[in-house]
Chain A
Amino acid sequence: MTQTAGATTAHKIAFQAEKLSVSYGSVMAVKDVFLEIPQNQIVAFIGPSGCGKSTVLRCFNRMNDLIPSAKVEGRITFNGQDIYDKHVDAVELRRRVGMVFQRPNPFPKSIYQNIAFGAKINGYQGDMDELVERSLRDAALWDEVKDKLKASGLSLSGGQQQRLCIARAIAIEPEVILMDEPCSALDPISTLRVEELMQELKQKYTIVIVTHNMQQASRTSDYTAFYNAKATDQGGKMGYLVEYDRTEVIFQQPAQQSTQEYVSGRFG
C-alpha cells in the first residue's frame, strides 16, 4: 500500500523520502511515507484534512524544526544528501528549498524590501534592482507593481500578495518551491494566474504543491500523491500515503479503491 510509487521517469530525483514518519509529541501525524519527487516537475499532494500532506511538505525544508514537539523519523534525501543529517544546516537548506504559504504573508515592508530581504541575508553580491525586477517578472507581477515598488506589500490584493510571496521565494534562486495550499485564500482569477505561473516556473524549479482542490491538482501537476487518514487507537487521526503515480493515472485509473472514491468526489 505504501510502496515507493510510480516515479519511473527520465527526470532526476530531487527529493526521496524513505519510511518518513512525523509525530507531534505522542501523536503520530503521518506514518511510513515512501516518495520520490522528480526534478522540474510539479507534484501535487491531495487528501482530506488531517492526512499529513502539509506535514510531509514541511519536512522538505525542515520547517518542522521550528515546532519543538515535532519529531521526524525515517530518511529524506535532497539530491542524494540526507537533509536530516547533523551536518546539514537547516538555514542553508531553506535557501535552496523555498516555500509559499497558505495565507499570503508578505512582510509589512515595501514591495522592494520584500524581495531584497532574502537576497541580502544570504549575501547576494549582484545588482539588487536587477534582481528585484527579474524576480517580479518571473512571478508575473512586474507590470502591476513596477511604478510602486516603495509601496507596502500589504497594499496589494490577495492574489498579488501571493505572487509577491512567490517572487520573494524565487529571488534567492532556490532549486525547489514548496507550496502549501497557495490558492486557498485566493479568488478564481488569481488562482488561475498562480497556476499559469507554476507552469512557467517548472522550467527552472521543482514544485511540490499541497492542494485541497482536485481540479487544481489534475490541471497543474505531473505527479499526484493521495494521502488519507485513519483513526488511531488513541482516538486521533494518523495520515498515510495511499497512492502516488502520474497525475493522469491517479485521476483516471487509480489502483486503490479509496483514491478512486476521493478523486471522483465521493468523500473528503
Chain B
Amino acid sequence: MNINDTSPSDRPINIELFKPNLAKRYNLDRIFAFLAWGATTIAVAILAWLLFTILVDGIGTLNWNFIDSFASRKAERAGIKAALAGTLWVMGVVAVFSFPIGVGAGIFLEEFSEDNWFTRLVEINISNLAGVPSIIYGLLGLAAFVRLFGFGRSVLAGGLTLVLLILPVIIVSTREALRTVPDGIRAAGFALGATRWQVIWHHILPAAMPGILTGMILSLSRAIGETAPLLAIGAASFIAFKPNSVLSDFTVLPIQIYDWVGRPKKEFHDLAASGIIVLMSVLLLMNAGAIYLRNRFQQNR
C-alpha cells in the first residue's frame, strides 16, 4: 500500500460489527459505585466507632481537674497538665525547626539544584528516609541529641528527633507544591529582570504556600501522635512539673496515654480515653489554624 495514498479506503461500512451492550456497561457502573460506597462507609464507620467508644470511656473523667493536674499514682487525682504542656512545647520546637529547614531544602532541590548524580542521590535518600520506622529516628536522636550534643532528655532533644522524622515528608510535599506552580509565572518574573530569589520569594512561594502548608499540617499531625521515638530517647512518663525551657525534662500526651493504658486498673484506662480526647482536640485545633492560614494565602490570588 502506498503510504502517501490518502484517499478513503473501500472498506464497506458495517454497523453490525458494533455491539454496544449498554445494559451490561451500566451494570458495571452500578457495581463499581457500590464498591466505592462500601469502602468509604467502612472507613468512616470504623472511625466513628472508635471515636464513640473513646468518648464513652473518657468523657466521664474529662474535666478541668484532669487538665490541670499533674500525674499521680491515684487515678482520681491524676491529670495531664505536664503531658499537655510537654506536647505544646515539643510541637513548638518541631514547628520552629522543621518549617524553615524542610521548606528551604525543598526550594533548593526544586528551584536551585542542577540535575546531577549528587542531587539524585540526595533525592533517593530523602524518599527512603520517609519510610524509615520512627523508632530508628528515636535511636538516632538518643545518640545524637541526647548524648553527643548533650541536650539530655529534654524538650529540645525530643523535638529535634521528631523534626528528623518529619523532614523528609515536608521536603517531598514542598517540592510537589513548588512543581504545581505554572512555569509561566517563573518565565514572567525572569522576563521582568527579576533574579532567581526574587522570582521565588515574590511569586513561587506565595503560589505554592497552600500546598506547602498542607504538607506541614500532615507532618505535624504525624509528629504529635508519635510515641516510639520519644520513648527511645528516654522521655519520662511520670513528670510532676511543666517544662519551663527547651532544656527541661518532659513528657507528652501519647506517652502519658501509653503509660495509663499499660496499668491494670480500669480507672486509668478511662483516664487514657480522656487523654486521647485532649490529644485529638489539640490536633484539630492545630489543623484548624493551619487551614485558616492556607485559606488566607489562597484568597490572595
Contacts and interface: CB of A to CB of B under 8 A. Distances in A.
B301 interface: yes
Find the residue from B191, B198, B300 having the highest chain A CB count within 10 A.
B191
Contacts of B114: 68
A154 B193 contact: no
A117 interface: yes
B108 interface: no
Contact of B191 (A94, A109, A152): A94
B192 A108 contact: no
B182 interface: yes
Contacts of A107: 185, 188-189, 203
Interface in A162-210: 165, 168-169, 172
Interface stretch (A78-86, A98-106, A133-141, A216-224): A98-106
A109 B190 contact: no
B207 interface: yes
Interface string B114-126: 1100000000000
Interface centre among A66, A99, A107, A169 (most CB of B within 10 A): A107
Contacts of B194: 91, 117-118, 121
Contacts, number: 72
B195 interface: yes
A92 interface: yes
B301 A91 contact: no
Contacts of A103: 184
A94 B184 CA distance: 16
Interface of A: 61, 63, 66, 68, 91-95, 98-99, 101, 103, 105-109, 117-118, 121-122, 152, 154, 165, 168-169, 172
B187 interface: yes
A172 B185 contact: no
Nearest to B181: A108
Contact of A63 (B182, B187, B195, B207): B187
Nearest to B299: A152
B192 A94 contact: yes
A110 to B, nearest CB: 9
Contact of A105 (B182, B193, B202, B206): B182
A209 to B, nearest CB: 15
B292 to A, nearest CB: 20
Given A68-B114, A117-B202, A154-B301, A169 B184 contact: no
Given A105-B184, A107-B185, A121 B192 contact: yes
B198 A121 contact: yes
Contact of B188 (A61, A92, A105, A172): A105
A92 B190 CA distance: 10
A169 B191 contact: yes
B40 to A, nearest CB: 33
Nearest to A68: B114
A169 B187 CA distance: 12
Nearest to B188: A105
B213 to A, nearest CB: 16
A63 B184 contact: no
A118 to B, nearest CB: 4
A118 B115 contact: no
A106 B192 CA distance: 12
A165 B301 CA distance: 16
Contact of A172 (B192, B198, B202): B192
30 contacts: A61-B191, A91-B193, A91-B194, A91-B195, A92-B193, A93-B193, A94-B190, A94-B191, A94-B192, A99-B187, A99-B191, A101-B191, A103-B184, A105-B184, A105-B185, A105-B187, A106-B188, A107-B189, A107-B203, A108-B207, A117-B192, A118-B192, A118-B193, A121-B193, A121-B198, A121-B202, A122-B192, A152-B301, A168-B188, A169-B192
Contacts of B203: 107-108
Contacts of A61: 191
A92 B132 CA distance: 47
A236 to B, nearest CB: 20
Contacts of A95: 192-193
Contacts of B185: 105, 107-108
Contacts of B300: 108-109
Nearest to B193: A95
A118 B184 CA distance: 15
A101 B185 CA distance: 10
